[in-house]
């Protein structure tokens, strides 16, 4: 009985040390290096189509992942946080791939670009007003 109790205590202690080490690793891991990491290459029109027609499957494939999105610039603006926002055209007139840039990018309207960022999913939009939801990319960089 004594030997069995000692074995259980040693096993529990080892599990606690492993869990603590894993937690420490995750805590110190830091954010993803979007600019330097590899990405899934996709066209803006195709990305929007996949997320808007079957959002559950699309989110499993793209949400939280680094994407390199090829598209044509529809508009360039600045949000309240002074971050540059670039909208890429899709096949839907009122829907875009909305890219929040980490650094100001020099782009022109109707220019074809590749923007690399983390996909956070598709917005709801407002069906009553005829506004479709945008696909959102965060922490974006203009890819050369």
Instruction: Give 27-47 pLDDT, tens digit per residue.
Output: 888 788 888 899 999 999 999
pLDDT-derived band at 1 (thresholds 50, 70, 90) equals low
Token pair of 53, please? 């027609």
Confidence (pLDDT) at 98: 97
Within 10 angstroms of residue 26's Cβ, the number of other Cβ atoms is 8
Distance CA 107, CA 122 (A): 24
Is pLDDT above 80 for 127? no
Token pair of 21, please? 């080490």
Distance CA 43, CA 69 (A): 5
pTM for the full predicted model: 0.80
Distance CA 95, CA 74 (A): 10
- 86: which strand partners? 76, 99
Q: Indicate the pairing of strand 40-43 with strand 66-78.
A: parallel
């Amino acid at each position: 009985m004594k030997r069995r109790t000692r074995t259980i205590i040693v096993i529990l202690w080892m599990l606690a040390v492993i869990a603590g080490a894993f937690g420490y690793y995750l805590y110190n891991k830091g954010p993803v290096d979007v600019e330097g990491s590899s990405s899934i290459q996709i066209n803006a029109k195709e990305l929007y189509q996949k997320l808007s027609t079957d959002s559950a499957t699309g989110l499993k494939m793209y949400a939280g992942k680094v994407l390199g999105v090829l598209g044509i610039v529809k508009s360039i603006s600045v949000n309240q946080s002074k971050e540059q926002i670039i909208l890429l055209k899709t096949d839907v007139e009122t829907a875009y791939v909305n890219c929040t840039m980490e650094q100001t990018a020099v782009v022109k309207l109707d220019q074809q670009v590749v923007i690399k960022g983390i996909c956070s999913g598709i917005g709801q939009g407002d069906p009553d007003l005829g506004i479709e939801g945008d696909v959102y990319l965060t922490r974006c960089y203009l890819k050369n």
